[in-house]
Structure 1
Amino acid sequence: MDWTTAGGVGHPPSGGFPHDALLYDSLDQLLGTVVPFVRDGLDAGDAAVVAVRPDSAVLLREALGDDPRVVVLDEDRVYGPRTPAAISAFRRLAKEHGPGGGRRVRVIGELDFGPTERDWLEWERYESVINEALRGWDLWGLCIYGADRHPDAVLESARRTHGQLVTPTSRTPNPAYTDPATYLRSLPIPDEPLERTPPRLLAGDVTDFIGLRHAVAAELAGVAASADLVEDFLLAVDEMTSNAVRHGLPPVTLRLWTATDRLVCTITDGGPGWDDPFAGYGPAHGEDLSRGGMGLWLARQLCDHVDITGGEHHPGDGTISVRLTTHLP
């Protein structure tokens, strides 16, 4: 297949983010799709970056003949442990490797979605978010999914989050693709059993930030975790509490739980909240960090999970709630 005219759609237009998926069940399908994608891109003046699992990287290196123009990166270096960092990493790839002149960086990516459904959900969100978050960056993503490497739920998510499906002989519009905002709003908010138990700390009608921080820090002092992990969680709590006081309506309430395997904090305010499923996957004001708007973005980088309930598309009792979760090693 000639990827410069794949599927008859031509080279993807400037300003979009082509986001393709290969769902393969054989080595021939993998190599027969990825190798032409890379070689045709190089011939067309694009750059190529491979960020896949180590065993996949070995196969692709051999098939591509160790072409020095192909940048092979450690999967963990690109994706990292949390989704906002992965978005920032892909933007850096566009800056560092973009050839200019309207050409793109073709990225072959392979995600490790993690061991649990809770982990899968974060990366399912990510695969939908980047359709908007990477729009306008000179990138062309080809995500590879081995049928024997992922559970059915993850494979179904791949069908919902990629605009094009590819094979060794075709690149075609994906009929199952779902508008990212619609898809993100459809995803469940996982249950947290700790929220049905008495919190370790309850602070109602929060106004004293300094006193609250000391109180939260005191409760976390005995947690069996590194100082950096605890400090990151404390900073996320600070940011979300500050956001609730500044932008929400009183009363602002904080509840903190600690367990042997995780820390959980829920910050609730009286609304009206927001209806932006992409919130927190980048600074609210783009790259101009001097304008603020970084609270939720920081929280998503500092915690393993950030879940938001309330607002127009999550009706409840009129409150807005942000739940922060960090796993303990």
Structure 2
Amino acid sequence: MRTGAAHGHTGYFHAAVQYASDDELLAVTVPFLLGGVAAGEPTFVSFGERTAALVRSALPRDSGVQFLTGGDVYARPTAAIRSYRNLLAEQVAAGAGQIRIIGEMPVSAFGNTWDWWARYESAINHAYDDFPLWSMCAYDARITPEPVLADVARTHPRYALPGGTHVDSSTYADPRVYLAEAHPPVADPLQSGPATVELADPTPGQARHAVHAADRGQLPAADVDDLVVAVSETVTNALRYGAPPVLLRVWGGADRIVVTVTDGGPGPKDPYAGLMPALDSAAGGRGLWITHQSCNHVAACAGDDGWTIRMIAGNTAIA
């Protein structure tokens, strides 16, 4: 049984909360949470330390609202999707007719890695649509850049307002439309210089060796190993499903390793490739899923020379 604004809705009811003061946030959040508890619905908060404390202080003692802790839910988009889908499946299996969640991304997501978080916000309209979920994504307009807020409007069907009302987003785009658009990542300064290693039509083994050759011990061994797996999968996909030529470039920096793999093809047909596990292994879907879980940032974009995937291990807060 769906309640509140999601009454009568099937699937995922996705809303954004754009607020300019703590009072504005609480005016939306507290009734949403207490309404869920009153309806007997599993009700969760996934906020950072400051805003979680703010909401706790505004709720009655033993309110029944659950605060998600124990690790960064928003470490990577694929990890967030996997974590939330597991949580939702558990609640439905326990008999939930609706689940309520309000969450926020860390401020660090609004920087150079925002492109893949924008893709996440779009993709979850599909990724969570097989669950009776009503969720809100909170964005503090005082600290969120304008380009990010513009993407929020395009990836959320509606906005939640005080008083329990909702208004449609006038610029919302269907995920298949939004994800098919070109969203070039912020250029990494390392790429303005010569690559440490550059190979044409490399084998996966040569690609793995190239990553190790660029490693100067600046990263933890586990991070390098994860990048090696991601690059090997990406090169395999490019050779198998892309179009020649395939070009591998690797840059080794003081605090990160940047890798690009370009092939002459148009890229995957599946707009959710990388963010959700593929139903089959066609067109390299499984490899892209692995890649998105193995790197600190993954970006892909079509260009004049074909389809390029860029992977970064290490520091993504580039100048």
Same fold (TM over 0.5): yes
Asked whether the equivalents of residues 273 and 285 of structure 2 are also in contact (C-alpha less than 8 Å), the reply is no
| Distance in 1 separating the partners of 2:54 and 2:232 | 46
Structure 1 unaligned spans of 5+: none
Instruction: Give the count of matched residue pairs.
Output: 312
**Closer, same or farther: CA 31–116 of 1 in aligned 2, 3 Å:** closer
Shift of 1:86: 0.7
1:175-190 aligned within 5 A: 175-184=170-179, 185-190=181-186
1:1-329 aligned within 5 A: 4-6=3-5, 11-14=7-10, 16-67=11-62, 69-74=64-69, 76-79=71-74, 81-98=75-92, 101=95, 103-114=97-108, 117-169=111-163, 170-184=165-179, 185-206=181-202, 208-220=203-215, 222-285=216-279, 293-310=285-302, 316-317=304-305, 319-328=306-315
Bigger shift: 234-243 or 37-46? 37-46
| Distance in 2 separating the partners of 1:202 and 1:282 | 30
Letter aligned with residue 288 of structure 2: L
Secondary structure at the residue paired with 1:106?
A: strand
Structure 2 unaligned spans of 5+: none
Asked whether the equivalents of residues 225 and 328 of structure 1 are also in contact (C-alpha less than 8 Å), the reply is no
CA RMSD in angstroms comes to 2.6
Secondary structure at the residue paired with 1:114?
A: helix
**Closer, same or farther: CA 128–113 of 1 in aligned 2, 3 Å:** farther
Secondary structure at the residue paired with 2:112?
A: helix
TM-score relative to the length of structure 1: 0.85
| Distance in 1 separating the partners of 2:222 and 2:50 | 32
Identity of aligned residues (%): 38
Give structure 1 regions of 4+ aligned residues with deviation exceeding 6 angstroms: none
Q: Deviations over 1:178-199 (max 9, x none)?
A: 2223333153333344334322
| Distance in 1 separating the partners of 2:190 and 2:108 | 22
Asked whether the equivalents of residues 109 and 143 of structure 1 are also in contact (C-alpha less than 8 Å), the reply is yes
| Distance in 1 separating the partners of 2:7 and 2:3 | 5
Shift of 1:75: 8.2
| Distance in 2 separating the partners of 1:154 and 1:21 | 12
